[in-house]
Amino acid sequence: MGVEEIDLKAEETKVKKETLIEGGSKLSLKRLIPVPILRNLLLAIVAVVIFFFLSGHLSAYRNYQLSQVGPYVLAILGLSVLIGQNGQISIGHGALMAIGAWSLALLQIHTKLPLGVILLLATLITTAIGGVLGLVAARLRGPYLAGATLALALGVPDIATRYRSLFGGYQGLQINPPSPPAFLGANFTPQQYLAVIDVIVIVIAFIFVANLVNSRIGRDMRAVRDDEIAARLAGISVQRTQVFTFAISSGLAGLGGGLLALVASNVSPGAFSVTLSISLLSGLVIGGIGTMAGALWGAAVMVYVPQWATTLTEKFNMNQGIAANIALAIYGILLIVIVLAAPGGIQGILMRLKGLISGRGRQRATKG
């Protein structure tokens, strides 16, 4: 056997080995369940079941904290669809959350509909209003669009103070929090029930957004985001796509507002100030624009950073002036670091780490 034949066989063995390694790495849930809807549904059921059992081992306070995260996840997810998938900007999603919250409150006070139906109606109301706003937003670009949505954030809370008989004025409207059904047992706390409701709603929203983004409509959104002129030449209705995206984003924010009303048991103008809209936008940047997991990270930062800041000020006995601003300082520093060091947000950092780990694993497997 010649030297050339030995080299040829060694090369064939190396190619076969790399093929086997590559084939093994592709063995995933996507191959086992090729239909995206069924795959997302299975993941959703698993997530809800796991959280249902885990929540039983958490204290009432921890479940309450988790239930606070849920509304912001939905609002940031809506922003992620609007900005990350379609390229529009909004500094008024706090106002859209207020619309959803007041819709839920008024429906609960004046009707006897089930909670699920009330949440759905509140979402549809906010979606419809978002569609009307989207007609205006589709004609604006850049700072003009940002200014218009900022005016929305300033104007909506003021409506509640002007029409006090309907919206309750500065005191707002009281909400009756949902009570857990009897079949869940006496040990199933209201806080745990709220947390489970949040997770179920978030999972449904994630399934909807995942299928939307991967559909033809999602491709149209990204085409409009990348180049409006090219999208028009491809036969895509830019205005219709933008209006639809704004409406869907508004609906998600309204759904988040409805959940926030249930968690807080109150809907008042002070809960939906401009600060909330800016915090949602900051949470999106910190979590990762255009990613669904980024909405989770951004919402967690919004909820837990102020609580950690409070704990920090109490531990070091800081004065009230510092204590009142320490959360904003931490939030601002985190935002600056993310923008400069990791434009993809927390989710972008995790994806980089995943790529590095998987790349090293493949190199070791190839060498072996």
HEC profile of 288-328: CCCCHHHHHHHHHHHHHHHHHHHHHHHHCCCCHHHHHHHHH
Dihedral sign computed on CA atoms, order 336, 339, 342, 348: positive
User: Which range, of 102-106, 124-128, 322-326, 349-353, averages the lowest pLDDT?
Assistant: 322-326
Tokens representing residue 290 in the block: 């255009």
> Residue 174's beta-bridge partner residues?
266
pLDDT tens readout for residues 133-150: 999 888 888 888 888 888
Which percentage of the chain shows pLDDT scores above 70?
A: 86
Mean pLDDT of 254-273: 92
Beta carbons within 8 Å of 48's beta carbon, 6+ residues apart: 196, 199, 200, 203
Reply yes or no on whether the pLDDT at 5 is more than 90: no
Strands 266-267 and 173-174: antiparallel
pLDDT of 17: 47
CA-CA-CA-CA dihedral for 361, 362, 367, 368, to nearest 10: 70
Mean pLDDT of 1-7: 48
Mean pLDDT of 236-264: 94
pLDDT interval class at 41 (50, 70, 90) = confident
pLDDT of 306: 84
By the 8 A CB rule, do 154 and 144 touch? no
Domain ranges of the chain: 25-273
pLDDT tens readout for residues 232-249: 999 999 999 999 999 999
Which phi and psi (to 5°) does residue 344 adopt? -80, 0
pLDDT interval class at 19 (50, 70, 90) = very low
